[in-house]
Structure 1
Amino acid sequence: MRIKSQKDFFAGLLYAVIGIAFAWGATTYSIGDGARMGPGYFPLILGIVLALIGGFVIFRSLTVETPDGDPIGKWSFKPLIFVILANFLFGILLGGIPSIGVPAMGLMIAIFVLTVVAAMAGPEFKWTEVIILGIVLAAGSWVTFVWGLNLQFQLWPSFISG
């Protein structure tokens, strides 16, 4: 069988592999049932759904003809690196690394840094827009998670908030 759309085939393969990994990893937790869900229930269902979507996309890539075969283009390393770096820095700033003495900087600074670094991945970077977006996202996160859902997050570094 011939691949008729490379982009769809590899995207479906990625979905299927991630879905299978999630479902497999969820089996190490107690699953429960629909009425009394265990900690592994949601990752198992999510993994199964992702794998099914991946299978459907792979099937489509093998059956639906595309004009040029939808070849995969060259990799864009700048966005890849900046988006991964942004998420990595978010995790470090939110929780810190106590084993090497890096303190937690809190939700507001972590989201602001995440926004700035992720914005550097794009073709154009405007400081004014990025700062406004960072402020809006930080405020929106505070409203959603701290005020709305009443979750306990460190908002600011301890040397600011005490």
Structure 2
Amino acid sequence: MSANTVSPWSDRIGGLVILTIGLAVAAQAQSYPFGTVGKMGPGFFPVVAGFVLAFFGGLIAWKTPDSGQARDEGLKNLRPAVFIFAGLLAWALLLRPAGLVISTVVMALLSAFAYPKPNPKRIAITVILLPIMAVALFVYGLGMPLRAFPW
């Protein structure tokens, strides 16, 4: 590799972050009864989901090829990670005070800027459909005690 090229370290770091989150979820879920496949306990899904997440995170970190991209393009790879992380962080921080709908809209708007040229039509569709699906799934479908709106 020459002095003007870098490896896609942001992909590797992202994979390691996903791996770490997956392992943390699986470790935290160990405190719940696991159950069996036929009669799943409350810890079954988080443990399995955590290990699947860790597996894919490890796969991303391990299988990321060295691409030899120019140095000035290396920082462009951080844009998706920064905006996706900002969207998830905003969602987590706004969920209780602002409700599921508003926090999901903010997450979708922030995450949309992960693309270099955001598509307004795609953003509008996502901002409308994602909160509707979230409320339908989590509030009505699963009966989770989440407020849709702050009022």
TM-score range, shorter chain: 0.5 to 0.7
Alignment of 1:70 with 2:65, yes or no, is: yes
Shift of 1:150: 4.2
Q: From the CA coordinates, give the structure whose radius of gyration is larger.
A: 1
Question: Quick check: 79-88 or 18-27, which moved more?
Answer: 18-27
Q: Which residue of 1 is the match for residue 3 of structure 2?
A: none
Match for residue 42 of structure 1 among 42, 45, 57:
45
Q: Which residue of 1 is the match for residue 33 of structure 2?
A: 30
Compute the RMSD of aligned alpha carbons.
3.6
Q: Which residue of 2 is the match for residue 153 of structure 1?
A: 146
Percent identity of paired positions between Structure 1 and Structure 2: 30
**Alignment gaps of 5+ in structure 1:** 1-5, 62-68, 96-103
Q: Which residue of 1 is the match for residue 132 of structure 2?
A: 139
**Structure whose residues are more often helix by fraction:** 2
Q: Which residue of 2 is the match for residue 82 of structure 1?
A: 83
**Alignment gaps of 5+ in structure 2:** 1-6
Paired residues, what number? 133
* Cα distance between partner residues in 1 of 2:115 and 2:52: 31
Q: TM-score, normalised by structure 2?
A: 0.62
Shift of 1:42: 2.8
Q: Which residue of 2 is the match for residue 120 of structure 1?
A: 113
* Cα distance between partner residues in 1 of 2:146 and 2:36: 31
Residue 28 of structure 1: SS of its match in structure 2? coil
